[in-house]
Structure 1
Amino acid sequence: MFKSFNIRKKIYYLSDTIKRKNVSNHLKEINFILNNPESNKSKIIQKSNLNNILNHATNTTPFYKKFRNFDSILDFPVIKKLVIQDNFNEFQSYPHKDKNNFKVSTSGSTGVPFFLFQDEVKRNRNKADVLHFLKRSNYEVGHRLFYLGVRLNQKFSLKSLIQNVSLIDISKLTDKAIEDFLEKVAKDKNSNKILLGHVSAFETILKYLDRKNKDITNIKLNSIITNSEHLSVETKTKLENYFNTPALSRYSSEEAGIIAHQTIDSPDTFVVNHASYYIEVLNLNNNTPVKPGEIGRIVLTDLFNYAMPLIRYDTGDIAKTKVCDNGSIQFESVEGRKMDLVYDTQGNVLSSYVFNKIIYKHYKKIKQYQFIQQDKKEYEIKLNLQEDKFPFEKELISEVKEDFGKDANVNITYVNEIPPLASGKRRKVINNYNKNNSLINPALSKHESIT
Structure 2
Amino acid sequence: MDFNAFYLRSRFWITDYLKGSPIGKQYNDVRYIDTHTKEQCASIIEHKLHALLMHAQKHTEFYARFSSLTLTDYPIMNKMLLIENMSRIQVVPSEIPSQIGDVHIQRTSGSTGVPLAIPQDTIKRQRRIAELKYFGHMVGFTTHEKLVHLRTWNKWQSKTNSQIRLENIIPFDISKFGPEDLENLCNLLVTEKVVCIRGYSTTIANLATYVKNAPTKWRFPHLKVIIAGGEALYDDVRQMVKECMHCEIISQYADEECGILAQEKVPTKSTDNVMYFNHSSYIFEILKLDSVEPAAYGEVGRIVITDLHNYAFPLIRYDCGDTCIMMPPNEYSNGYPVIDKLYGRRFDLTYSTDGKAVSPLAYGRILKNYDIVSQWQFVQLDEKRYQLRLMLKSGSIEQLSEAIVLFKEILGKDADLEIKEVEDIPILCSGKRKPVINKWKNI
Which of 265, 270, 279 does residue 275 from structure 2 map onto? 270
SS of residue in 2 equivalent to 1:172: coil
Aligned counterparts of 1:102 and 1:58: Cα–Cα separation in 2: 22
- Map of 1:66 onto structure 2: 65
How does 1:309-324 map onto structure 2 within 5 Å? 309-322=314-327, 323-324=329-330
Aligned counterparts of 1:402 and 1:227: Cα–Cα separation in 2: 29
SS of residue in 2 equivalent to 1:247: strand
- Map of 2:393 onto structure 1: 386
Aligned counterparts of 1:268 and 1:368: Cα–Cα separation in 2: 23
Aligned counterparts of 2:272 and 2:353: Cα–Cα separation in 1: 35
Structure 2: unaligned runs, 5 residues or longer: none
Aligned counterparts of 1:356 and 1:262: Cα–Cα separation in 2: 19
Structure 1 residue 297 corresponds to structure 2 residue 322: no
Give the CA deviation at 1:142. Answer: 2.4
Aligned counterparts of 1:272 and 1:379: Cα–Cα separation in 2: 33
Aligned counterparts of 2:21 and 2:254: Cα–Cα separation in 1: 22
Give the CA deviation at 1:55. Answer: 0.8
Which of 345, 348, 351 does residue 343 from structure 1 map onto? 351
AA in 2 matched with 1:370: Q
Q: Is the 8 A contact 2:105 2:118 kept in 1?
A: yes
Aligned counterparts of 1:119 and 1:21: Cα–Cα separation in 2: 17
- Map of 1:77 onto structure 2: 75
- Map of 1:29 onto structure 2: 29
SS of residue in 1 equivalent to 2:65: helix
Q: Is the 8 A contact 1:107 1:421 kept in 2?
A: no
Aligned counterparts of 1:264 and 1:9: Cα–Cα separation in 2: 23
Which of 97, 101, 104 does residue 106 from structure 2 map onto? 104
- Please, what TM-score do these two structures have when normalized by structure 2? 0.90
Aligned counterparts of 1:96 and 1:398: Cα–Cα separation in 2: 63
Structure 1: unaligned runs, 5 residues or longer: 440-451
Cα gap change, 1:112 to 1:343, in 2 (>3 Å): same
Cα deviation 1:96-147 (Å, max 9, x = unaligned): 5896111112222222222221111111111111111011021122211122
How does 1:173-322 map onto structure 2 within 5 Å? 173-189=177-193, 193-212=195-214, 215-264=217-266, 268-322=273-327
Give the CA deviation at 1:214. Answer: 5.0
Structure 1 residue 399 corresponds to structure 2 residue 397: no
AA in 2 matched with 1:159: Q
SS of residue in 1 equivalent to 2:364: helix
- Map of 2:433 onto structure 1: 426
Cα gap change, 1:97 to 1:432, in 2 (>3 Å): farther
Which of 326, 333, 339 does residue 331 from structure 1 map onto? 339
- Please, what TM-score do these two structures have when normalized by structure 1? 0.89
- Map of 2:16 onto structure 1: 16
- Map of 2:48 onto structure 1: 49
Aligned counterparts of 1:5 and 1:212: Cα–Cα separation in 2: 31
Give the CA deviation at 1:39. Answer: 4.8
- Map of 1:369 onto structure 2: 376
Equivalent residue pairs, number: 430
Aligned counterparts of 2:193 and 2:435: Cα–Cα separation in 1: 37
Aligned counterparts of 2:389 and 2:48: Cα–Cα separation in 1: 47
Aligned counterparts of 1:209 and 1:6: Cα–Cα separation in 2: 30
SS of residue in 2 equivalent to 1:331: strand
SS of residue in 2 equivalent to 1:288: coil
Give the CA deviation at 1:296. Answer: 1.5
AA in 2 matched with 1:430: I
Aligned counterparts of 2:44 and 2:75: Cα–Cα separation in 1: 24
Aligned-CA RMSD value:
2.3
Give the CA deviation at 1:277. Answer: 0.4
Cα deviation 1:55-97 (Å, max 9, x = unaligned): 11112111112222x1411101111111111221111124558
Cα gap change, 1:78 to 1:155, in 2 (>3 Å): closer
Aligned counterparts of 2:431 and 2:94: Cα–Cα separation in 1: 32
Aligned counterparts of 1:267 and 1:138: Cα–Cα separation in 2: 18
Aligned counterparts of 2:309 and 2:32: Cα–Cα separation in 1: 17
